[in-house]
Structure 1
Amino acid sequence: MKYLAWMSIQKALLTDIWYTAMASDLFSSRYFSSRISKNDIYKTMDFIMSIPPEKQRDNDFRMHRLMEMDENERRSIEKVNELLFVNRPVDLLTEYLKDGVLYLKSRGYKKVGSVGFCFGGGMSINLGCTGTVDVMAIYYGENPEPLEKLKNVNAVIGFYAGEDKRITSKAPDLISELYKYNKEVTVKIYPGTYHAFFNSTRPKIYNDAAARDSWELLVQFFNNHL
């Protein structure tokens, strides 16, 4: 599936620069597999990708599209939306990621960084808030709640899309809170780009210039801290 292929691309990008990379399959846990299937997730991603970039944050437009769908398809998407976006078990997911970090450290890796995109960007932030990673990278991820959790993070680098108003509008709050705790933070916003600008499997949204520039900055940031 193309979504699994995209995970492989992300992992390969890190291994190409001589980092050991681990991608946690959060949705294979008993908690998720008993509630949603991978097919449900694929259907949801197909639905999201069918929406024009400029309409992705338009709830009325999304609901109209959803109501036009077959009932079974709609139920699959609603189920995923409820579990991953409305009532996301952030603490449980963070523990899963933390276990992954502890596993790497048990294998002799003294320094660990995290990077996440979209949903994963938000989870990268939450993992960073546990204090278990030395550096974290955020690609258009939601801020942690409450923001006070950021007092435990180490170095942070974040990349945001100029047209992704819902997410990017909250980046100043993230920066302000990190400054309050004297944390090292670098943030760059790419004007004219949309949410998921790094995802090369989505040609309507992918922005090559922003993707390349952000990756160069990320690699430099990681090299300085790991």
Structure 2
Amino acid sequence: MPTAPAPTTTQQDDTYATLRQWVTVGRFQPGERLKIRTVAAALGVGEMPVRAALQRLAAEGALVNVPNAGVAVPRLSLPEFDDLLQMRMLLEGEAAERGAARLDAAGVKALAALCQRMAKTLAKGDAEGYLAANEDFHVMLYKAAGSPMLFELIDTLWLKAGPISNQLFDTPEASAVLNDAHEDLLKALARRDSAGVRRAVEKDIFVAGQFLRQRIKASSANAR
């Protein structure tokens, strides 16, 4: 039987990048076991680059190794989630304020278009579409800050927050308010109010966080 060719470095890196992005946007659920064969089939690649990517993500803390069961998406405890929420508000608020001060007219227009896209996906109940547009919105704003180090720290936090983010859509009340902070942000940008942009981002994270806290509390209670 012929041996499958070893994956190239580019294929390994591409596989890792795709899986990392899937974790970040909440494609996998907390507690979900990731089977190498299933993930490889979804990506259309061999099992070797998937195995390497999953282990790399586990080393970063985005996934956890489960004895005799491969890797799984970690579940956050309430204290862990609260710590994550505070760090996100601190770092993303800083990036938002810096980004708002440097964003040009084309950037503001692009953010407005993404805000409209988020509104449409929420109206359709399209969780995946909303999370993808939401990520694009925040990436554009934060990268405008011009601090690769700050963005790298934020990106690490998103890896930990991503898996639970999909659970926002298990609460019907959340969809009615999720885009409010983005609209506040655009109004602050129109006023050239960088501090107002920071407050809008902090509001965005905090409001979503309260819905997710309830999910974690309910999950913890059910596990007892």
Q: The TM-score by the shorter chain falls in which range?
A: under 0.3
Pick the structure with more helix per residue.
2
Calculate the TM-score normalised by the size of structure 1. 0.27
Rg larger for? 2
If asked which structure has higher relative contact order (CA below 8 Å, sep 6+), I would say: 2
Calculate the TM-score normalised by the size of structure 2. 0.27
Pick the structure with more strand per residue.
1
